[in-house]
Structure 1
């Protein structure tokens, strides 16, 4: 295994040795903040939950110091919030029976620094040791700068690996901007309604964000319900909850593809679809 930075922490819910825990990974998520996994990459959790041959590895990149706070947490210092947020994430990992949870503990400004290579290298090491089949991260059209920092650094890290060490699929998920704008034939619809008791609880664990700050527990489930219902106008719902994803695999199959061009081309295809629908009715 690669040697990790002193600031990086690992939590193994079933107390297996770290090397064993990381090498059993089949599904992995690299997202910016505590609870981003449970909001956006819940498909990975469900795909592995109580499956002896499949294991989920969650990675939170930032340290939680800039988290929103209200209610009982309104007067918490940045240092206190960092402790609380990591504890909440560990609770989610235990509840969801994750194979492994990692905390890179980087400040948000580091993820947004285009010159920074420390985060890229730490992500590279984790992916190389885990070698997941499926990897989830943020989408390139997300409106949160820290999320953009994480997805771009994740792709940079993947491109440092040999092709045979990269995941088979790389998916972008919804957190701070949904993928409703993406053309339907380009969406990856993750059906995540099978275990509402689990999926609801995983978001509700993050009390520091829900108490007086943001109702992520209601918003995340509401978006999943809306995605399922409004997916198509002329067919019965195929699922009761859906998280929309975007397939970013081409970006790790062809390193020459530009990330900006890749996402703008998708936006242009959506623009063209809107234009054609209107013009044919005029």
Structure 2
């Protein structure tokens, strides 16, 4: 479980400088959902971003130049793409745990991944953490969220982050009531966002124009975030404040998420009912 250190610093120092940590299921998830953290640390000697990618990428779709690749070849391509993103984004460290997706979704795999993530938290002690939203619709993303929660709850309070944000990937979060969502301004350095997104050529060539989709979502979030004011940002990523799940270790993440859905329902009802 030795991470890639782009600037070749000694391992303990490289990890301990981490201020922002992101945990994603797949190669490219970090760059799509946690660009806020990457921006906060890029060319900033006071902040350092580290990433964790949990799965191996072996089940990726493949067409074009990658059509003939075996699963093992795709794993290596995706591994290299993620490490290149870490180099370009000036990450403190990049872990690639290389688990099959089926493993992280199993009971045994959840236990193993949770232990690995707890060890990474202890080594990095970030103050800000990004991971998948519990309202995501990708099973592997939900499995990584669940393992992250279990890992965090196993740690003493002084090793838990001060901020934990669940980010949008395979389901956006524009439906979340405004006072319950975290709006992350990622308008700066659009050229860096484009370079990072386009590094994952194996996925774009596989039939998914992720770069345009991600930038389109961020632009839409900024434009449609407030119908009564001009835009303060050109790019926004929405997230959920997940700290209530740490502040109350007995709070079910299912109840937490369903409460958000009920708040959305109530907001729709109260907004529409005066006119009917």
TM > 0.5? yes
CA distance in structure 1 between the partners assigned to 2:60 and 2:176 by the alignment: 29
Give the whole-Å Cα distance in 2 for the aligned partners of 1:281 and 1:17.
64
Aligned to 1:262: 256
1:218 aligns with 2:212: yes
5 Å-filtered alignment, 1:6-155, equals 8-116=1-109, 117-155=111-149
Structure 2 contact 23–52 (Cα < 8 Å) conserved: yes
Separation (CA, whole Å) in 1 of partners of 2:147 and 2:12: 24
Aligned to 1:189: 183
- In structure 2, the gaps of 5 or more residues are none
Structure 2 residue matching 1:10: 3-state secondary structure = coil
Alignment partners' CA distance in 2, 1:253 and 1:24 = 25
Runs of at least 4 residues of structure 1 off by over 6 A?
A: none
- Structure 1 residues 134-162: Cα deviation after superposition (integer angstroms, max 9, x where no partner): 00000001000000000011010000000
CA deviations over 1:249-281 (Å, ceiling 9, x no partner): 111121111111011001110011111111111
For this pair of structures, how many residues does the alignment match?
275
The answer (yes or no) to whether the contact 1:142–1:174 under 8 Å persists in 2 is yes
The runs of 5 or more residues in structure 1 that have no matched partner are 1-7
For the aligned residue pairs, the C-alpha RMSD in angstroms reads 0.9
Instruction: Specify which of 219, 223, 228 is matched with residue 229 of structure 1.
Output: 223
Q: Contact 1:187–1:245 (CA<8 Å) still a contact in 2?
A: yes
Could you tell me how far 1:115 is from its partner in structure 2? Answer: 4.3
Are 2:234 and 1:277 equivalent residues in the alignment? no
- Could you give the per-residue CA deviations for residues 25-78 of structure 1, whole angstroms, max 9, x where no partner exists? 000000100000000010010000011111001000001111121111112111
Counterpart Cα distance in 1 of 2:89 and 2:71: 27
Separation in 1 of the partners of 2:151 and 2:206? 37
- Structure 1 residue 212 displacement after superposition: 4.0
Q: Please give the secondary structure, in 2, of the residue aligned with 1:30.
A: strand
Give TM-score, length-normalised by structure 2: 0.98
Shift of 1:109: 1.0
> Normalized against structure 1, the TM-score is what?
0.96
**In structure 2, which of residues 154, 171, 175 is the aligned counterpart of residue 177 of structure 1?**
171
Provide the secondary structure at the position in 2 that maps to 1:98.
Answer: coil
Deviation at 1:19, TM superposition (A): 1.2
User: Any idea what SS the aligned residue of 2:107 has?
Assistant: coil
* Secondary structure at 1:22 match in 2: helix
1:175 aligned counterpart, secondary structure: coil
CA contact (8 A) 1:140 1:151 kept: yes
1:4 is matched with none
